[in-house]
C-alpha cells in the first residue's frame, strides 16, 4: 500500500512529462499540460451536457443515479474549469517570449498544476459519487457550495486561490525580471482583478439577495469584463505571432477595447440586478451600460479581420487563425448580439430565466472563449511538433480541422437557434399570454415549439460532440511527419 502511495505521484507526473517536447521552452511545456487537461474536461463538459439534454426529452433517463441537477452542474463547472485551464496555458505559452526571459518560478508553477488537477479530480468525483449533502456548513466545505458555475466546495476554493497566486507570481515576476510591454501590463492588472473577484463568490450570506448580489461579481464581472480583457491580450499576442501584425497596432487596439469593455461591462452588471430585490436604479444603470457592451466586441471583429486582411490572410497557422476569427465573430454574436437582445429591462421582464438565456449562454461561452482556446491548442501543437508548416496545402487538404471547425460551429449554432425558439415561446406563452402563472409555466413547457426545440438541441448537441472528437483526433495527428518548416513572417 505504502509503495503505491509513494509511487503514484511519480506515475501521474510521468504521464504528463511524456508530453514534453524538445522544441518548447519551460513555460510552453507547462502550457501543454494545461491544454491537455483542458481538452479532457471539454470532452467531459459535452458528455454531461448530452446526458442533461437527453433528460429533457426522456426525464426518466438515469433518474436516481445521475440526476439532471448533477449532470447540469458537471456540464457547466467543467466548462468554467477547462476555459480557465486554457487561459492559464495560453499565458504560460507566450510568457517567456513576451518577457524575453525564463519564468520566475517554473517549478512552483508545475507543482501548482498538479495540485489544481488533483483538486479538480477529487471535486468531480465527489460531485458524481456523493452528489448532495444536508443543508449544513459541512456540505459547503466538502461537497458543493451551491453557487451555479462556481460550485466547488470551499476547501477547493482555497486551493484555487493559492494556485492563482502562484500563477500571478509567475506572470508578474517574469515580466519584472524581463521586459514589460503594453500587452503584459494590461494582462497583469487584469489578473489581479480576475483573481480578486473570485473571492466575491467565497463567502456565504443567508440573505439570498445579498448572496446573489456578490455572486454576480464573479459571474458577470468575469465573463463581461476580466475574461474579455484577458482574451483581448491573448488575441493581440496571437495576431502578432500568426500573421506578423505590428505590435504598435495591436496594442493600440487593445487599449481602446479595454477602455470600452471596462467602461460598459462594469456597470453593465446591473442587468442581473433587475429582479433579485436590489434597488430600482439598477434598471436604468443596467439597461444603459449593458446596452453599450456590444461596442468593444465590434471593435474586436474589425481589429482581427482588418489585421488579417492587411496581411492577405497569410498566416503561420491556418487553423489557429481561422479559430481566432471565429472567436471575434462568436464573441460579437453570442455576447454582443444575443446579449443585447434581452438586456433591456422592458424585454428582460419577459425573457428572464427562459431558454433565451441558455441560448445566449451557449453561443457566448463557446463563441468568445472556447474558440480562442482552440486556436491556442493549434499553435501549441505546431511548435510541439518542431515548428512545422501549418498553412495551406496540408495533407488531405486539411479536411480534419475544417470539418471539426464546421461541425462544432454548426452544432453550437443549431443548439443556439433551437433554444432561442424555445425561449421565444416561453416568453410569449408563459409570460406575455398567461402572465407568469403556475399554469402558464406548464402550458409553455408542453407547447410543441418547446418540446421540438429540446429534440433539436439534442441532435445539434450530437453534431457538436462529433466535431469535438474530430478536433481531438486532428490535434493528435496534424503536422505528424511534416517536413516543411513553418512560414517565416517578416514584420509588415
Query: Is residue 406 a contact point for ligand HEM (CB under 6 A)?
Result: no
Euclidean distance between CA atoms 175 and 59, whole angstroms: 53
Map residues 220-249 to x or -, x wherever contact with ligand HEM holds by CB under 6 A. ---xx-------------------------
Euclidean distance between CA atoms 255 and 246, whole angstroms: 15
Query: Is residue 360 a contact point for Fe ion (CB under 5 A)?
Result: no
Closest distance between ligand HEM and the C-beta of residue 354, in Å?
7
The entry of Fe ion, ligand HEM, none that residue 402 binds, CB within 5 to 8 Å by partner kind: none
Task: Print burial letters for 377-415: b (CB count within 10 Å at least 16), e (below 16).
Answer: bbbbbbbbbeebbbbeebeeebebbbebbebbbebbbbb
Closest distance between Fe ion and the C-beta of residue 361, in Å?
10
- Name the segment binding ligand HEM (CB under 6 A); options: 118-126, 165-173, 308-316, 328-336: 328-336
Q: Which three cell numbers stand for residue 246?
A: 505590428
Euclidean distance between CA atoms 331 and 298, whole angstroms: 9
Euclidean distance between CA atoms 143 and 132, whole angstroms: 7
Contact 177, 168 (CB under 8 A): no
Q: Which of the residues 38 through 77 are near ligand HEM (CB under 6 A)?
A: 46, 49-50, 52-53, 56, 72, 75-76
Cα within 13 Å of Cα(354), Cβ side: 31
Query: Is residue 339 a contact point for ligand HEM (CB under 6 A)?
Result: yes
Closest distance between Fe ion and the C-beta of residue 267, in Å?
11
| Of residues 356 and 384, the one with the C-beta less far from ligand HEM | 356
Residue number closest to ligand HEM, CB atom: 339
Tell me, letter by letter, the H, E, C secondary structure of 94-152: HHHHHHCCCCCCHHHHHHHHHHHHHHHHHHHHHHHHCCCCCCCHHHHHHCCCCCCCCCC
Residue number closest to Fe ion, CB atom: 220
Give the single-character DSSP code of 317. Answer: B
The entry of ligand HEM, Fe ion, none that residue 370 binds, CB within 5 to 8 Å by partner kind: ligand HEM
| Of residues 157 and 224, the one with the C-beta less far from Fe ion | 224
- Name the segment binding ligand HEM (CB under 6 A); options: 101-109, 125-133, 366-374, 477-485: 366-374
Give the single-character DSSP code of 64. Answer: T
Applying CB under 5 A, among 33, 75, 147, 220 the residue interacting with Fe ion is 220
How many residues in total does the chain contain? 492
Closest distance between ligand HEM and the C-beta of residue 292, in Å?
8
Closest distance between ligand HEM and the C-beta of residue 331, in Å?
6
Closest distance between ligand HEM and the C-beta of residue 367, in Å?
7
Contact 431, 349 (CB under 8 A): yes
Euclidean distance between CA atoms 461 and 410, whole angstroms: 10
Query: Is residue 147 a contact point for ligand HEM (CB under 6 A)?
Result: no
| Of residues 220 and 318, the one with the C-beta less far from Fe ion | 220
Classify 396 in phi/psi space as left (phi over 0), alpha (psi -120 to 50) or beta. left
CA distances from 320 to 17, 286, 325, 326 (A): 25, 36, 9, 10
Map residues 163-182 to x or -, x wherever contact with Fe ion holds by CB under 5 A. --------------------
| Of residues 346 and 397, the one with the C-beta less far from ligand HEM | 346
- Name the segment binding ligand HEM (CB under 6 A); options: 106-114, 333-341, 430-438, 439-447: 333-341
| Of residues 380 and 415, the one with the C-beta less far from ligand HEM | 415
Euclidean distance between CA atoms 198 and 186, whole angstroms: 19
The entry of ligand HEM, Fe ion, none that residue 166 binds, CB within 5 to 8 Å by partner kind: none
| Of residues 274 and 323, the one with the C-beta less far from Fe ion | 274
Among 46, 439, 382, residue whose Cα is nearest residue 241: 382
Query: Is residue 283 a contact point for ligand HEM (CB under 6 A)?
Result: no
Closest distance between Fe ion and the C-beta of residue 53, in Å?
24
Euclidean distance between CA atoms 448 and 437, whole angstroms: 19
The SS3 of residue 207 is coil
Map residues 289-318 to x or -, x wherever contact with ligand HEM holds by CB under 6 A. -x--xx------------------------
The entry of ligand HEM, Fe ion, none that residue 309 binds, CB within 5 to 8 Å by partner kind: none
Euclidean distance between CA atoms 87 and 83, whole angstroms: 6
| Of residues 352 and 385, the one with the C-beta less far from ligand HEM | 352
CA distances from 164 to 78, 85, 115 (A): 18, 11, 11
DSSP per-residue letters across 232-247: HHHHHHHHHHHH---H
Applying CB under 6 A, among 33, 303, 342, 431 the residue interacting with ligand HEM is 342
Residues in binding contact with ligand HEM, number by CB under 6 A: 41
Q: Which residues bind ligand HEM (CB under 6 A)?
A: 46, 49-50, 52-53, 56, 72, 75-76, 79, 148, 223-224, 271, 290, 293-294, 331, 335-336, 339-340, 342-343, 348, 352-353, 357-358, 360-362, 364-366, 368, 370, 412, 461, 464-465
Amino acid at each position: 500500500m505504502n509503495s503505491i502511495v509513494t509511487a503514484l505521484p511519480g506515475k501521474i507526473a510521468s504521464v504528463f512529462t511524456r508530453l514534453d517536447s524538445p522544441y518548447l521552452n519551460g513555460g510552453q511545456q507547462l502550457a501543454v499540460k494545461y491544454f491537455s487537461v483542458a481538452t479532457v474536461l471539454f470532452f467531459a463538459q459535452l458528455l454531461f451536457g448530452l446526458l442533461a439534454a437527453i433528460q429533457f426529452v426522456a426525464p426518466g433517463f438515469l433518474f436516481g443515479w445521475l440526476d439532471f441537477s448533477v449532470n447540469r452542474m458537471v456540464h457547466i463547472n467543467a466548462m468554467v474549469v477547462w476555459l480557465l485551464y486554457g487561459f492559464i496555458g495560453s499565458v504560460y505559452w507566450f510568457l517567456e517570449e513576451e518577457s524575453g526571459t525564463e519564468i520566475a518560478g517554473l517549478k512552483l508553477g508545475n507543482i501548482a498544476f498538479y495540485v489544481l488537477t488533483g483538486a479538480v479530480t477529487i471535486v468531480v468525483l465527489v460531485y458524481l459519487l456523493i452528489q448532495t449533502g444536508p443543508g449544513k456548513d459541512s456540505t459547503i466545505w466538502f461537497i458543493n457550495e451551491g453557487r451555479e458555475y462556481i460550485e466547488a466546495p470551499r476547501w477547493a476554493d482555497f486551493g484555487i486561490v493559492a494556485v492563482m497566486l502562484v500563477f500571478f507570481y509567475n506572470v508578474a515576476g517574469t515580466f519584472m525580471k524581463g521586459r514589460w510591454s503594453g500587452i503584459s501590463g494590461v494582462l497583469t492588472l487584469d489578473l489581479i482583478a480576475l483573481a480578486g473577484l473570485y473571492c466575491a463568490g467565497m463567502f456565504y450570506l443567508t440573505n439570498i439577495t445579498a448572496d446573489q448580489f456578490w455572486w454576480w461579481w464573479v459571474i458577470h464581472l468575469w465573463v463581461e469584463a476580466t475574461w474579455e480583457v484577458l482574451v483581448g491580450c491573448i488575441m493581440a499576442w496571437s495576431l502578432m505571432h500568426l500573421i506578423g501584425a505590428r505590435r504598435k497596432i495591436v496594442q493600440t487596439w487593445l487599449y481602446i477595447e479595454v477602455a470600452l469593455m471596462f467602461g460598459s461591462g462594469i456597470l453593465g452588471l446591473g442587468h442581473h440586478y433587475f429582479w433579485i430585490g436590489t434597488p430600482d436604479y439598477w434598471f436604468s444603470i443596467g439597461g444603459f451600460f449593458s446596452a453599450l457592451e456590444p461596442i468593444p466586441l465590434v471593435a474586436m471583429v474589425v481589429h482581427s479581420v482588418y489585421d488579417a486582411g492587411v496581411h492577405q490572410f497569410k498566416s503561420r497557422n491556418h487553423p489557429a487563425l481561422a479559430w481566432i476569427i471565429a472567436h471575434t465573430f462568436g464573441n460579437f454574436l453570442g455576447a454582443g448580439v444575443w446579449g443585447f437582445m434581452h438586456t433591456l429591462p422592458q424585454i428582460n421582464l419577459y425573457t428572464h430565466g427562459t431558454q433565451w438565456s441558455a441560448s445566449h449562454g451557449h453561443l457566448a461561452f463557446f463563441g468568445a472563449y472556447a474558440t480562442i482556446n482552440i486556436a491556442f491548442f493549434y499553435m501549441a501543437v505546431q511548435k510541439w511538433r518542431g515548428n512545422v508548416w501549418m498553412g495551406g496545402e496540408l495533407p488531405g487538404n486539411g479536411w480534419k480541422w475544417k470539418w471539426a471547425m464546421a461541425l462544432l460551429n454548426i452544432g453550437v449554432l443549431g443548439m443556439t437557434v433551437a433554444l432561442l425558439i424555445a425561449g421565444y415561446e416561453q416568453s410569449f406563452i408563459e409570460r406575455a399570454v398567461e402572465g407568469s402563472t403556475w399554469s402558464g409555466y406548464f402550458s409553455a413547457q408542453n407547447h410543441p415549439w418547446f418540446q421540438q426545440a429540446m429534440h433539436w438541441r439534442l441532435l445539434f448537441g450530437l453534431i457538436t460532440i462529433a466535431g469535438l472528437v474530430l478536433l481531438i483526433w486532428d490535434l493528435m495527428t496534424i503536422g505528424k511527419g511534416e517536413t516543411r518548416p513553418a512560414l517565416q513572417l517578416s514584420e509588415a
